[in-house]
Structure 1
Amino acid sequence: MNVPTNPKAFLQWQDNIATHLTDVQILTSSGRTIHAHANILALASPVLERMLEQARRCSNSSKRVIRVLGVPSEAVLSFIRLLYSSKWRPYDKEEGEEMDKHGFHLLALSHSYRVPWLKRACESGLAARLCADTALDAMKLARWCDARRLYLHCMKVVAKDLGGLQSTESWRFIQAHDPQLELEILQFIQEWDLRMKRMRRRKEEQGVYMQLMQVLECLEHICTEGCTNVGPLDVDLTSKSKGPCSSFSTCEGLQQLILHLPLCAKKLVPGKCIHCKRMWQLFRLHSSICVRPEPCKVPLCKQFKLRMEREGKGDDEMWRLLVKRVDLARFMACLEKRKRPEEVCRKLANCRDRSCFVNSHQRRK
């Protein structure tokens, strides 16, 4: 059934398909009468189905009358049209204009008459059109209609601009008549600030773990392939024609630490040289996450592994947590380097198109 999206065209369409077949009259607050079909309304809404059944029992005529009050007649007409079409077109211009005009009324109607798909569409449409001026009104309506997604979105909008909203009439009305909602808003803002602080702290910690992971990758790169000044014994750095690596800013500082370690006179004194201590910790951290079955070229990797096997779980809790976080950061970095599924599908489609073109060209020859 192709239902027109324009309300005026919908009325003409109803008249053209034979008004005498409609067996329901919907009365609005302004006294306007809208004709509809009972079967379509009953299938779309269980509440309307019960209302139609009650109207059939109370009336002896073939025409059943139900009342939809509390909203403008244009909103009721849009609601009936959407029940006929049973879908919402978010990218349609005319339906977007309807959402701008009657979005709040459609949300209330979809909640009152239990039309879940229309309720979800109204939540998404109102959330996309929400601004600071209408956030408090939309929040009160979302609270009444049990629209949790819209309620949470309104809370986020209010939390971003609470200082500007406190001077509005809606906020003064909430303070005077709904202190429970005011308390919920203030509690949400407090929890939102704490959540943002935790997220910033986690991002900073994740950045530290990513830096440690990059340092460990540079350490393996230096001990396996060699870089500008430092490399393994079996690699001749003077004959290498390539320049600095892509992570040379990190690799250069690590090379200085490696060159400092054998020349430092305080490296055997515990806790005296900070640079040597950092280098020992990097060697230990590498051995804790190294999973290579063959002999590793990083110095002291095998010795630290044998020490950990001999001592068992002798590491403290903080060190095990550090190893776990760095290992997780390395795993996440490996996932980011992998090709995305859509990129793989796009390349596969291009290869298939190219192969089809080549095969057709060969067949023509």
Structure 2
Amino acid sequence: MRIALLGPLEARDDTGAPVEIAGIRLRTLLARLALSPGRPVPAEALIDAVWPDEPPAGAINALQSLVSRLRRALPAGERNRLQSRPAGYLLSLALDETDVGRLEALVAAGRTARDGAGGSEGLALAARRFAEALALWRGEPLADLETAGFAAVAARLIELRLRTIEDLAEVRLDLGDTGDLVSELEELTAAHPFRERLWAARMRALCAAGRPSEALAAFEELRRTLAETLGTDPSPPVRELHLAILRGDLRPASPSPPGTCPRWPRCVAAWTACRSPSSSPARGFARCRSRRSPPGSGTGSGCSPAAAAPRCRATRRFRPWWSGAGTCWVSPSGSWPGASPSSRAAPRPTRPRRCARTRCGCRAKTSSALSRR
């Protein structure tokens, strides 16, 4: 049996046929039990959900009668799922048998893939998981059960949906998949004017589309809205993004070379780490004098086209959400670990230091040998 809560309450049997649950109290009872699948729900919590204003006299007996009616309303093969417990009642459901459970599992899987070291493949997997999670949404949670007992649950699920939308927008920007993202974010910022992550994603999308002046106008709109409504300013991350746009650090999106870090346009804007033929493996890294050269150009002191390509391993240990940049480890071979066995075997730098260059978009960590040069 599957129960859908992300919208009007729906119940379906194993064949997909709808299960008719008549009566607002029966539906409220089923929804409250389904929100805690496989876990006992105290009788007091069920009474508060079914009769939020004032419970009837003999509420325990009335609840027992209501549970019996709900058990009879379930299909014959599913009635044993509704079980009595000393402290209350339990609806035996797996997490993936409710759309809320599937939503939370997909969002968690997407964030794990995004925060991992899988590069563009991990980001693409995260985008798919976030999109699948959002596809489960059918409207306001439990829209047909207008009781105060579900207000907190509905607010939590709405917040989870908005955060998932923000996560998906940022992942799409990291992948360079802007598409219709600008128009979508314009609608979202109009509907949710205080969600600064949505405004930051909109500004990034406009820059990726080659419209930085409109990105600056969007920042001014956000600043004016916050000042007039709340008497405050945008958060520091959004202000830093605004400064980055003014400096011209954000460039229009372009496809990443196959097998390279999906953030190479930002990496090459400030750093290109390469291995000089004159440097020994012990020194590990050498700084490329042509750090603004296009990837694979081969210009600069001792740089080959393969070495100049800014391929990196995005461990994402430091990932400011407003810029989409990850913490990048660049191996001595210039390759991105995961692309080939040789790149995975490349040694990591020792004694990492934070890049001190103010215009560094990717916050690359470098070895002490690179820092000395």
TM-score range, shorter chain: 0.3 to 0.5
Q: From the CA coordinates, give the structure whose radius of gyration is larger.
A: 1
1 or 2, which has the higher strand percentage?
A: 2
Q: TM-score, normalised by structure 2?
A: 0.34
Greater RCO between the two (CA within 8 Å, min separation 6)?
2
Q: TM-score, normalised by structure 1?
A: 0.35
1 or 2, which has the higher helix percentage?
A: 1
